């Protein structure tokens, strides 16, 4: 069936590059395929409440450089798990048919979902109900399987790297260990790449267990070599030596209720008791998700958007566009949505970091100097 009108949602958390993807989708749909585009507000919530708006050239003009999303986003709405309050108790109902009815009412032939792993799982379930769906992988965490890079990751790493750069001067001036906590949920991609790019002396990620003794041994070795300060980059999902992650809060009724955060403070207090000089910490937080996208993400968003429209126009019913070896390809959504891409502890980047003396806290012997 020829696609005459497609829908698009920006679901999950916001990140730089989503607007650039919307712009590419609208322009490619109209110019290359003669397809109309309708956007739905606030992720999947717009499908449940019928909040739709037409998207044309005027609506996407000038948004290439803007962060966030003009459609709004939500990481709390799942059409397959809608909370219903009954007195003091909450039950959950499947209202995916309501979402499909909204799309049918707007004569939508296919849906593009710009989202992370949770949103793409919802998209895959909608595809199983007969909806033609193509996913665009976006998340600063870079944890979507099947793609080398997700939209928004490069921007987040750039922001985190700049923060690491800025900590060097204050750490050196006061001879401190500076701890910087970055996002990433249960994977360490941001911490690894920002730490490697910024010359972090210690990098702690969920995929590599660490001990405080190994960290202290490495830092003390740096002190012996005349290095009177150190930078430690820790991913929010890094597991403490007891095997637990630090949870900031639990969000009721959210499909993903666990909000990580606070490991930077825990690591700081533990190391302060073991080191003879001052330890301070910084939590970078949502700054990593804000602001304009990097040139890389603007280009990737444009490539992903064009490829997603082409996929629907050519008859794709359950796919995802992905960056593989520098090329944008299509992947089966069912093979990617239900897996998480974690950092391989034996990967080339980890090996390179170890070769220049980066401490991961998993080896008890002293490390060499990173500078």
Is residue 231 classed as helix, strand or coil in its secondary structure?
A: strand
Report whether 239 contacts 247 (CB < 8 A): no
**CA–CA gap between residue 134 and residue 317 (Å, rounded):** 7
Instruction: State how far the alpha carbon of 268 is from the alpha carbons of 21, 147, 181, 280, in Å.
Output: 39, 34, 10, 7
**CA–CA gap between residue 294 and residue 346 (Å, rounded):** 29
| Residue from 309, 282, 254 nearest 36 by CA | 309
Report whether 161 contacts 198 (CB < 8 A): yes
Residue 141 appears among annotated catalytic residues: yes
Burial-class residue 29 by CB neighbours within 10 Å (0-12, 13-18, 19+).
Answer: buried
Pair of tokens at residue 74: 């939500």
Report whether 16 contacts 10 (CB < 8 A): no
Task: Given the residues 14, 77, 78, 141, select the one marked as catalytic.
Answer: 141
**Beta-carbon count within 10 A of 354 CB:** 15
Phi and psi at residue 170, to the nearest 5°:
-70, -35
Report whether 167 contacts 180 (CB < 8 A): yes
DSSP string for 240-282: PTTSPPPEEEE-TT-SS-EEE--HHHHHHHHHHTTSSS-EEEE
Pair of tokens at residue 131: 């909806």
Instruction: State how far the alpha carbon of 369 is from the alpha carbons of 198, 203, 276, 357, in Å.
Output: 14, 14, 19, 5
Report whether 291 contacts 15 (CB < 8 A): no
Number of H helices, E strands in the chain: 12, 15
| Residue from 147, 305, 166, 317 nearest 233 by CA | 166
Residues with a known catalytic role:
141
């Amino acid at each position: 069936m020829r696609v005459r009108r497609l829908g698009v949602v920006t679901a999950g958390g916001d990140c730089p590059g989503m607007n650039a993807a919307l712009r590419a989708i609208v322009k490619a749909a109209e110019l290359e395929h003669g397809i109309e585009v309708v956007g739905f507000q606030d992720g999947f919530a717009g499908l449940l409440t019928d909040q739709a708006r037409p998207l044309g050239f005027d609506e996407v003009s000038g948004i290439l450089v803007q962060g966030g999303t003009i459609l709004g986003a939500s990481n709390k709405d799942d059409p397959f798990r809608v909370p219903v309050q009954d007195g003091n108790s909450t039950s959950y109902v499947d209202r995916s048919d309501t979402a499909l009815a909204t799309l049918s009412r707007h004569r939508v032939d296919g849906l593009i979902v710009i989202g992370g792993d949770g949103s793409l799982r919802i998209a895959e379930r909608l595809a199983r109900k007969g909806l033609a769906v193509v996913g665009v992988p976006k998340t600063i965490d870079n944890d979507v399987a099947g793609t080398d890079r997700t939209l928004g990751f490069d921007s987040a790493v750039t922001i985190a790297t700049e923060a690491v750069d800025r900590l060097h001067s204050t750490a050196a001036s006061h001879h401190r260990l500076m701890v910087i906590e970055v996002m990433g949920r249960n994977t360490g991609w941001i911490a690894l790449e920002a730490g490697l790019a910024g010359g972090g002396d210690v990098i702690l990620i969920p995929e590599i267990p660490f001990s405080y003794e190994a960290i202290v041994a490495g830092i003390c070795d740096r002190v012996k070599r005349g290095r009177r300060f150190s930078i430690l980059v820790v991913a929010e999902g890094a597991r403490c030596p007891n095997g637990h992650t630090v949870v900031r809060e639990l969000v009721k009724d959210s499909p993903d209720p666990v909000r990580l955060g606070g490991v930077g403070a825990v690591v700081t207090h533990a190391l302060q008791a073991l080191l003879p000089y001052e330890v301070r910490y910084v939590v970078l937080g949502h700054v990593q998700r804000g602001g304009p996208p990097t040139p890389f993400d603007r280009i990737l968003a444009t490539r992903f958007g064009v490829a997603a429209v082409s996929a629907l126009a050519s008859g794709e019913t359950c796919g995802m566009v992905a960056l593989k070896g520098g090329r944008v390809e299509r992947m089966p959504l069912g093979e990617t949505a239900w897996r998480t891409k974690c950092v391989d502890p034996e990967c080339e980047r980890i090996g390179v970091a170890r070769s220049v003396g980066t401490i991961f806290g998993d080896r008890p012997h002293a490390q060499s100097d990173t500078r």
